[in-house]
Chain A
Amino acid sequence: MAQKSLNIADNKKVVEELVSTLKDKVLDVKWSGPRRVYVKIAPHSHREFIKWVRDKFPNSSYLVSIDTVDFIDRGEFEIRYKMQIVHNSIKLALIFEMNVPRDYPKVRTITDIVPGAVLYERENYEMFGIIFEGHPNLAKFFLPETWPEGVYPLRKDVNILRKKPKVW
């Protein structure tokens, strides 16, 4: 069927082009199936990658999500920027993984490139305490106003699920 045409060579070509353009910033490329690729990128280079995708496919790419994984044993966060490209026979999910030190979690915002990133960055700020420099309004979004400062609930060292002793 025409709508499900997938050319794996086209997908590979996009990734090769990306790697050759920004080759000193790419640390590792890992394919997970023909439609998904995990690209490990150098710290603070995420803006260049997202800009490259958005400039190359302005009418056929979007930011799916930004999320963070807390690798407390390695002492760093891993921020993941997920992009999707659907352009003719190119159907590719790009996942950019970037390490950020756990004791100094500061990265630059991408809201000037992708305005839709506004809520994702706010969520990562309040759940993990990652500071996005240049974000227009880095305020609480999900957590209540009375939430204590400096407690980031999705970090691994925060234990908010402690069972309360029964009172009866």
Chain B
Amino acid sequence: MSSLISLVVGPQHPALHEPERFVFKIEGETIVDVEPRLGYVHRGIEKLMETKEHTEAIYLAERVCGICNVAHTLSYGEAVEEAAGIEVPPRAKYLRVIAHELNRIHSHLLLLGVAAELMGFETLFMLIWRDREIVMKLTEDLTGNRVISAFVLVGGVSRDISPELVYKMRKHLPKLYERVKQYKKMMEEDPTFTARTVNVGYLSKSRMLELGGVGPTARGSSVRMDVRDFDPYAAYDEIPFNVIVYDEGDSWARFMVRVDETLEAINIILYALDHLPQGPIRVRPPRGFEGEGFGRVEAPRGEVFHHTIWRGESKPWRHRIRTPTYANIPAVCEMFKGYHLADAPVILGSIDPCFSCTDRLYVVDVRTGEEKVIPYWYIRKKYWKR
């Protein structure tokens, strides 16, 4: 008789952001089904946005996600600018691209480091995070902050780039390029990395499109979709770059998409520095206006969009935010099925969310269908008697 055990994973985890809870239905070691539950950090930002003017709300927008904060402010800015009919100066567009791509490099390197750690490859984790520091320092020089940057504002950007910083970026980014190329070679050849990721968490292209996966998760399954390509914002319609697509559809492909995108992002920054136009960096936005705006941005994890509706007041009527991890949850639930429980951290890590620890056991008796939740204190009391 088969016994199906439900294993609750989450919601607390110290390593990455966004606590989630997954109830894995396992048979032996194999995952049969998975039920997600989100909302542990639901802060009601969409409702709160309806009470804020855009000068305040842009700072709220970047607190949706700390790691891809530039993507959120950029998306918010694009949406409000479309609604208000503001044209951003060309220099601000290029500066937005630079900040956005620095943000992408830092996010991808963060994930690749964490992924290496999840696989028990701690040396790679420390090497990658050491090199991530270059990008963090450049971000600090450009925006004034290491993480939450407050760089993009409605109508432009907050700070201009200095010639010294341009020189510094041109000096350090090619060095980082060489390092990342070395890590790419490592990830292609290293037996530890390939053994844990190749053919793990496979999802086909048609299934990915049905489930609506976005970003590097989708591009790892040969879905050629990148917002920068099909709906260019900021200065992406003038900057040449390649859309990275891998056909394998497994966790390895999803990690490799991120490595290649890091290389591509460095090229984009160097191109933008070479072609940086002169001029003002900000125009003054109006306070209240009528209109509708739809700002789509390719964040490090996939497509972010802010959709805003203004009806002539100083505050929006409705503000809708869709984040990439949310769109990827149905896809990742499908990826788990049929793989071992030990692969779950790698599969979950490959879509770049967070992985959470076990909080309590959740036992389902299949014969009677009776469910019983055993809290952690009960186990401790019963089995860990001093």
Q: A113 — nearest CB in chain B belongs to which residue?
A: B210
Q: Which of B39, B47, B231 sits near A93, CB closer than 8 Å?
A: B231
Can you name 4 extra interface pairs (CB under 8 A) apart from A3-B243, A70-B318, A119-B326?
A: A58-B206, A64-B322, A141-B38, A153-B47
Query: How many whole Å from B161's CB to the nearest CB in chain A?
Result: 25
Q: Which of B38, B213, B330 sits near A118, CB closer than 8 Å?
A: B330
Q: Judge whether B240 and A64 touch: CB under 8 Å.
A: no
Q: Judge whether B210 and A115 touch: CB under 8 Å.
A: yes
Q: Judge whether B51 and A3 touch: CB under 8 Å.
A: no
Residues of chain B lying within 8 A (CB to CB) of residue A61: 209
Mask, B28-53, CB within 8 Å of A = 1, is 00000000011100101011100100
Query: How many whole Å from A58's CB to the nearest CB in chain B?
Result: 7
Q: A122 — nearest CB in chain B belongs to which residue?
A: B38
**Does A62 sit at the interface, judged by CB under 8 A?**
yes
CA distance A92 to B263 in the complex (A): 28
Q: Judge whether B47 and A63 touch: CB under 8 Å.
A: no
Question: 16 A-B pairs, CB-CB below 8 angstroms?
Answer: A3-B229, A3-B242, A59-B205, A61-B209, A64-B305, A65-B327, A67-B322, A84-B225, A86-B225, A93-B231, A114-B210, A116-B213, A141-B37, A142-B38, A143-B39, A160-B44
Q: A127 — nearest CB in chain B belongs to which residue?
A: B46
**Does A35 sit at the interface, judged by CB under 8 A?**
yes
**Does A165 sit at the interface, judged by CB under 8 A?**
no
**Does A9 sit at the interface, judged by CB under 8 A?**
no
Residues of chain B lying within 8 A (CB to CB) of residue A127: 46
CA distance A3 to B224 in the complex (A): 11
Range class of the B interface residue count: 35 or more
Q: Judge whether B230 and A64 touch: CB under 8 Å.
A: no
CB-CB under 8 A for A67 and B47, given A86-B224, A91-B230: no
Query: How many whole Å from A40's CB to the nearest CB in chain B?
Result: 13
Q: Judge whether B212 and A69 touch: CB under 8 Å.
A: no
Q: Which of A36, A70, A115, A142 sits near B330, CB closer than 8 Å?
A: A115
Query: How many whole Å from A115's CB to the nearest CB in chain B?
Result: 5
Residues of chain B lying within 8 A (CB to CB) of residue A116: 210-213, 327, 330-331
Q: A67 — nearest CB in chain B belongs to which residue?
A: B320
**Does B307 sit at the interface, judged by CB under 8 A?**
yes
CA distance A141 to B40 in the complex (A): 10
Query: How many whole Å from A70's CB to the nearest CB in chain B?
Result: 7
**Does A167 sit at the interface, judged by CB under 8 A?**
no
Is the contact region of chain B dominated by helix, strand, or loop, or is it mixed? mixed
Query: How many whole Å from A36's CB to the nearest CB in chain B?
Result: 6
Q: Which of A35, A63, A161 sits near B212, CB closer than 8 Å?
A: A63
CA distance A3 to B210 in the complex (A): 24
CB-CB under 8 A for A119 and B231, given A64-B212, A141-B39, A153-B44: no
CA distance A88 to B377 in the complex (A): 57
Q: A95 — nearest CB in chain B belongs to which residue?
A: B294
Q: Judge whether B322 and A144 touch: CB under 8 Å.
A: no
Q: Judge whether B46 and A154 touch: CB under 8 Å.
A: yes
**Does A4 sit at the interface, judged by CB under 8 A?**
yes
Q: Judge whether B210 and A36 touch: CB under 8 Å.
A: no
CA distance A36 to B292 in the complex (A): 12
CA distance A70 to B318 in the complex (A): 8
CB-CB under 8 A for A69 and B48, given A35-B231, A86-B224, A119-B326: no
Q: Judge whether B230 and A86 touch: CB under 8 Å.
A: yes
Mask, A4-43, CB within 8 Å of B = 1, is 1000000000000000000000000000100110000000
Mask, A116-146, CB within 8 Å of B = 1, is 1111000000010000000000001111100
Residues of chain A lying within 8 A (CB to CB) of residue B211: 115-116
Q: Which of A1, A116, A118 neighbours the largest number of chain B CB atoms within 10 Å of its CB? A: A116
CA distance A114 to B211 in the complex (A): 7
